[in-house]
Structure 1
């Protein structure tokens, strides 16, 4: 018997399959539900163990394809279930009805949505009582994000009035009050003036017993047109996890058990006090919340001032050792006395960013801007300064750049002009050498790069004095 000798270096190969055999194997693989096509050469398929948790189960549609169809499944059907759940959570942050939409795409996606409790935690109260109760049930033991946003909408071209009467507000809150121990955040926004809205929304949240919120982390209460001066004590005086608060148009009893752990505070004064009394109120608040990292203060000009005010000035300073961002906002035509006084009482050794915001977008500088910088000294730890509209004076840029060595960026926003960014460069310690080989003496000026949209300026020295 003669044997054909394989040339040296050539690999042993299996005989090629015919076209009909390939089609049969492909059809058998598509029709099989669990096992891959058998190997005609006797090689057993690799078993897949159920207890192998290293490979996440992938989402696949068991669809029979036509033999002539060469279309592949979309890549999203090959993603692990865990990744799809994270995508669904990201989408639900922008659209509250996103969980309902994805649960109607397919049976597999509905199972994923129903088995992800955090997908249903956001409850935006409205007259659709059954829907929100079902969402609470689907959230299971997960914490809840409560929203009450009665904003006007349009129906068939006609304006639809928001549910702003106290009875509707109290009924909406009645749905979620039994689950107050599961609240993670509370957001209430009233866009228009209606009397007794805060009492209707918060009366049961201020009861002496059974109204504690041990899980709440974020609080947002906005009613700019409020005319009710009553002070509320929220959550029976206990909210140990509260870290963020945004308040506008409401008086609260500022207890340490509620607000001692705040790291973010966006505070707009309610307007029921003014002058030294308002400064005293805010200073007492900041003494309690001494762990703030981000602070934003606004004193709007409101005609409602009904509470008795003190006449003596407040001289007690407040130390905020962890404060890194301070935002001073002005809504009127000039800097309020209360805002300027509080700024002078703050001790901020770690302040990195100062933002001077003019919400009225004044074209000219504030009349009291010069006096403000006479009494307010910029902290030496500043790194970034943002100046907008009425806060801007061209004579103030150079003193800031020359007197604060740690300032690296100054952002300027003026009316009808693009935003300008001044990047300040620290002075080099090495001495420059001229063409003649002699060292060039160092100057006291600070190098700066002025950049704006569509333009670039290189400025070496600005010989301008502010005062």
Structure 2
């Protein structure tokens, strides 16, 4: 017995001198001499722990617990060792067992164990969080997703943008297998000059011959030849037909199954710059059309013939030639389509489009008493020198949200007064006037006084916009004109000056942004009389040559988005 105690004492001395290999040899020798004291195993466990031999240290700690189960040392060391190898549950269990065996008066040991337990719990929480993050990035969730749910997700993505079907098929092999086997993702075919035959064949196969939308973006021979792939394809489910620069005669020859019955049941029809052919008007010869969206560019529409056939439109977009003698036909057409929500009508002169007018119905002279009530209309865009205010003064739009007027011949004073008196200005949120003239700028000011909900105001290329800016900058009876205005664009207006512009921005700033005592006093007075207006969020001053560069830093400091481009690179190149 004396021999193992002597070896144990020498081993402890070596441990204290940090001679861990010698300490391990002497303590092992003491154990080989049949030492059965738990202190010897605990000491050798401490040496193993210093040397980084966790497994051997745990085995010795196990012997300590076996020899002296009533002592706390073996459990405490086991807790530390389990914690070092990230076995947090075992470490917490050992910590609890050690805490139960410490005497109540030994507060130092209890504090140490409580600190150890807190460190274990904190580290365990962080480790669990990192594991979950790695699992989210590495785990293949799609493999466990039911096919029906994957179908629903892909359908929602493609519904927003039909070109995404190609992107989805390129993510991985599993996605591609699912996408290829979903015919409803391949129902929108768009043909251009890029591999039209290959694309038409692929879409026909994957959609299983059930196309819902056909878009032809080019009328060249290569694209039209690709339509032969669809020669025997049933088009009974077709809802959208979009044609750009297409010869209608050639189209009907390539697609013999594109009958009048199918055109009659279309939901959306787009005709953009078709090639000169009389046959285009046969598209409108169906007894009734179920169209909800009609978009036409570069071709004259027989408004009189179309009036009796099309009554369900919600969106009308027309960019083409127009003559005032057809105004009554257009008015009648709009009166029949009472569900219209969006109307975009740009009447210009197109030499190609005039070729069709000899084949349309005889025009009826307009009647000045016609009125067109459009209670559902929310967006109206009228432009072109061959339309003017004749049509606008016939429209009654009590729920209009957006009004866009561009390139009118003559002044717009009368149309603005009509919109104001017909209650079209009150709900308006966006007003865009592009290259139109005003005889009396106060007519626009009176209009804006009625349009208290306007948030976006564009006055582009107006010669007397300065009077309007002056009215926007000066409160009347402690009321601000257009208090909800947040986006202002006065590009290419020659009479925009620094003073009104600065006052316009300043009068809409919050009180905490004002610095001078006079500005604060005026702002508080207006705040007591009426609510503060909304601050400007964007200000565009392109082409305003009268604006000086000195005010731009202040404007950019108080308006989040300011753009002031005096001239383009091409316009300014002569100075170089």
TM-score normalised by length of structure 1: 0.59
Q: Give the match's secondary structure for 1:388.
A: strand
Shift of 1:184: 2.7
Distance in 2 (alpha carbons) for counterparts of 1:316 and 1:118: 46
Equivalence for 1:320: 374
- Unaligned ranges ≥5, structure 2: 1-65, 88-133, 473-480, 485-519, 541-551, 560-576
Deviations 1:53-98 (A, max 9, x none): xxxxxxxxxxxxxxxxxx98955944557569846974797684x6
Q: CA RMSD in A?
A: 5.0
Deviations 1:157-211 (A, max 9, x none): xxxxx339xxx748627716733212131111118xxxxx233335757745x53
1:390 equivalent to 2:435? Answer yes
Deviations 1:297-317 (A, max 9, x none): 111123427445444545321
Distance in 2 (alpha carbons) for counterparts of 1:14 and 1:110: 51
Shift of 1:414: 2.5
Equivalence for 2:348: 300
Equivalence for 1:189: 244
Deviations 1:328-360 (A, max 9, x none): 122xxxx43x342111111222222212234xx
8 A contact 2:201–2:229 mirrored in 1: no
Distance in 1 (alpha carbons) for counterparts of 2:534 and 2:372: 34
Question: Which one has a larger percent strand, Structure 1 or Structure 2?
Answer: 1
Structure 1 residues 198 and 281: alpha-carbon distance in aligned structure 2, compared to 1, 3 A threshold: farther
Equivalence for 1:290: 338
8 A contact 1:221–1:246 mirrored in 2: yes
Shift of 1:366: 5.6
Deviations 1:136-173 (A, max 9, x none): 2212476522110117xxxxxxxxxx339xxx748627
Equivalence for 1:452: 539
TM-score normalised by length of structure 2: 0.50
Equivalence for 1:163: 221
8 A contact 2:431–2:454 mirrored in 1: no
Distance in 2 (alpha carbons) for counterparts of 1:357 and 1:371: 15
1:381 equivalent to 2:426? Answer yes
Deviations 1:219-274 (A, max 9, x none): 2111177464863245944554x3222112153542666x32221111234x3x62
1:222 equivalent to 2:272? Answer yes
Structure 1 residues 416 and 14: alpha-carbon distance in aligned structure 2, compared to 1, 3 A threshold: farther
1:136 equivalent to 2:204? Answer yes
Count the aligned residue pairs.
357
Structure 1 residues 16 and 440: alpha-carbon distance in aligned structure 2, compared to 1, 3 A threshold: closer
Distance in 1 (alpha carbons) for counterparts of 2:263 and 2:409: 45
Structure 1 residues 178 and 349: alpha-carbon distance in aligned structure 2, compared to 1, 3 A threshold: same
1:147 equivalent to 2:212? Answer no
8 A contact 1:424–1:446 mirrored in 2: no
Equivalence for 2:51: none
Instruction: Decide which structure has the larger Cα Rg and report it.
Output: 2
Question: Which one has a larger percent helix, Structure 1 or Structure 2?
Answer: 2
- Unaligned ranges ≥5, structure 1: 23-70, 152-161, 192-196, 359-364, 427-433, 459-467
8 A contact 1:89–1:118 mirrored in 2: no
Structure 1 residues 134 and 410: alpha-carbon distance in aligned structure 2, compared to 1, 3 A threshold: closer
1:122 equivalent to 2:188? Answer yes
8 A contact 1:317–1:347 mirrored in 2: yes
Equivalence for 2:455: 409
8 A contact 1:146–1:183 mirrored in 2: yes
Structure 1 residues 125 and 238: alpha-carbon distance in aligned structure 2, compared to 1, 3 A threshold: farther
Equivalence for 1:280: 328
